[in-house]
Amino acid sequence: IVKFWLHIDQDEQLRRFQARQNTPEKQWKITEEDWRNREKYAQYRIAVVDMLQRTSTTYAPWTILEANCKLYARIKALRTVAKVLEDALEHRLDPR
């Protein structure tokens, strides 16, 4: 199991929300609920830390993707998946 949490800071979230709001073909992606929930950003951060601590295990750890930069997040995700697959294959081929 590979789990990712994509983290963006509050400024980046606002930038993305505004971009969606101002781009007709992306307006469907943003709702009033998104804006309401954004006001609770600090509370969500606390909940995320709790969730990550309670649900990360040796077998299924979380990988936090710093996602302010989408390219960086995608590359880190791909590298993580590649590493997990390599480790699984190596373990499978290990005669021990």
First CA to last CA across the chain, in angstroms? 23
**Spans of all domains in the chain:** 3-93
Predicted TM-score (pTM) of the model is 0.84
State yes or no: pLDDT of 93 exceeds 90: no
The C-alpha atoms of residue 35 and residue 67 are separated, in whole angstroms, by 19
2-19 mean pLDDT: 98
For the chain, give the mean pLDDT: 95
pLDDT digits (tens, 9 = 90+) for 14-41: 999 999 999 999 999 999 999 999 999 9
pLDDT at 58 over 90: yes
Q: What does CATH list as the number for 3-93?
A: 3.40.50.300
Looking up tokens 């830390």 gives 49
